[in-house]
Structure 1
Amino acid sequence: MSDGEAVDETGRPNIAVLASADGAADVVETVRAAGGVAGTATAETVAGTDLVIAPAGDAIAALATADVATPILPITDGLRPETAERLLDGQYTVTERPLVAVETDGGIAHALSDVTLATAAAATISEFSLDRPDRSTPIARFRADGVVVTTPAGSRGYAHAAGGPIVAHGSDVLTAVPISPFATDPDHWVVPLTDLSLTVERDDADVELLVDGRTVETVDPGAPVKLARAGTLPVVSLPDGDRE
């Protein structure tokens, strides 16, 4: 860690907080106030620590690129004191979660939870297709405000609110769910976690690509968004009701 190399002789985990995180210093102080050892680090300098706290989004991609083996706790809004205490007491589990590479003409991003295409203007329907390279026809073509594709880790989030199923961790699948579809009885799709593509077939407004909730770029009609397995990351799971 770049901010303090102290060793916790109590056997509690040494925690690294990615320096790119908003409020990283506050997270470090929260851990220290709970009696733990913590400091800021980069994706390349977390080796030797026991747990990494990282903001969802670009930080996850950086950790994936650095081939980090240290368990990761993704956060979106700081760290509560009671959560810090549970981490220090070892009240968490670590599971390998699939990571999805998201490739467009603009580059490659990585998703731990979900990939979304959504119209930038509210209540504006576009047409989308879902396809795999081994098929002669698309899996589906539909009109909607957007579409969200989730890993099992993301199936409890926005996709579930849009009517999609909850998928058990460890399932080797992706789930595709239309957002505010034109059809009154829309389909949802559960497909193997292999190569998959999303395409905007027709748009009445700009369509944005979001990866784990962050806007990446605007997607042009006919330009496929390609999804592929990109290995796994060791992710920390907290007890129910204690998620950040």
Structure 2
Amino acid sequence: MRMHSAIPQTSPGTSKVWGTTSLLGINWGEVGFLADLEPDEAHAFFAAHESGFGVERRMRVSLSVDGKRLGDALNEGLVVTDRPAKMLRFGVYVDGTPAERFRADGLLISTPTGSTAYAMSAGGPIVDPQIEGFLLVPLAPYMLSSRPHLISTGRNLEITLETEKPAHLVIDGQSTFELEKEATITVKRSQQPALFVHTGKPFFEKVNHKLRNL
């Protein structure tokens, strides 16, 4: 496999590197939950793994609107209004059954990998990347009872926009799509996971270290 280094947390969901390329994150910034190595560790790692390396697969989420596939996200899809200070209403349906209704400034549809990105800043939980699920995190919800939901990828998940206010879907902070009123977003597990070089560092050890250095 080819290896590409120095990737940001907000990797584009439609990037051409997804497929057979394994990614290795090198932290040139401040936090970088996807960056396993610091710059001074990189040369030693490459020298020790000239003959090969392990690969870790991370699920991505596939997002479609009204039957049209828009793209895959490694971190999250974000639904927000294009008018500041205006709230949106969302209906969440799991296997066709009404599961929740959110009234909020927006809604994050996150992967476990994305749980340490925007979703964490919005008050969502940190999710083990070995768990395959969809994390829904409302942004500044109107009701205190509106809490994040973690839903299995084995479920059929649909989110309806129950408002006539204009809104947008943003995939991994890169691609933006305008949503029609009462649009339906279908959420599925992508058939093409992201591949990362396995450095041997335990996930929760990395998270603990990075959170202590924020």
Considering the TM-score relative to the shorter chain, is it more than 0.5? yes
Q: For 2:22, which of 71, 94, 100 is the aligned residue? A: 71
Instruction: Give the alignment of 1:113-124 within 5 angstroms.
Output: 113-124=75-86
In the other structure, the counterpart of 1:130 is 92
Q: 1:202-240, CA deviations, whole angstroms, 9 ceiling, x for partnerless residues?
A: 143x21101112242111122212121113221247855
Distance in 1 separating the partners of 2:80 and 2:28:
23
Unaligned stretches of 5+ in structure 2?
A: 31-36, 47-52
Worse-superposed segment, 186-195 or 141-150: 186-195
Residue 2 (structure 2) aligns with? 49
Structure 1 unmatched runs, 5+? 1-47
SS in 2 for 1:90: helix
Deviation at 1:87, TM superposition (A): 2.9
* TM-score, scaled to structure 1: 0.65
CA distance in structure 2 between the partners assigned to 1:119 and 1:77 by the alignment: 33
Corresponding residue number in structure 2 for 1:62: 16
**CA shift at 1:108, angstroms?**
2.6
Q: Which has the higher contact order (CA 8 A, sep 6+)?
A: 2
Change (3 A) 1:57 1:49: closer
- Does the CA-based 8 Å contact 1:116-1:210 persist in structure 2? yes
| Corresponding position: 1:223 with 2:183 | yes
Give the SS at the match of 1:148.
strand
Contact 1:162 1:177 in 2 (8 A): yes
* Identity %, equivalent residues: 25
1:183-205 CA deviation, whole Å, 9 max, x = no partner? Answer: 1332221100244222211143x
**Taking structure 2 as the reference length, what is the TM-score of the superposition?**
0.73
Per the TM alignment, residue 125 of structure 1 is displaced from its structure 2 partner at its CA by 0.6
Q: Please state how far the C-alpha of 1:59 moved relative to its aligned partner.
A: 6.4
Structure 2 CA distance, aligned partners of 1:122 and 1:75?
36
How many pairs does the alignment contain?
189
Task: Please state whether the residue corresponding to 1:138 is helix, strand or coil.
Answer: strand
Which digits, 9 at most, give the CA deviation of each residue in 1:35-77, with x for residues without a partner? xxxxxxxxxxxxx63335556444654233xx22x31146898
Q: Which amino acid aligns with 1:104?
A: V
Structure whose CA Rg is larger: 1
Cα distance in 2 between the residues matched to 1:114 and 1:160: 11
| Counterpart for residue 139 of structure 2 | 179
1:112–1:153: 8 Å Cα contact kept in structure 2?
yes
Q: 1:207 aligns with which of 153, 163, 167?
A: 167
Tell whether 2:149 aligns with 1:189.
yes
1:150 is the counterpart of 2:106: no
Determine helix, strand or coil for the equivalent of 1:226. strand
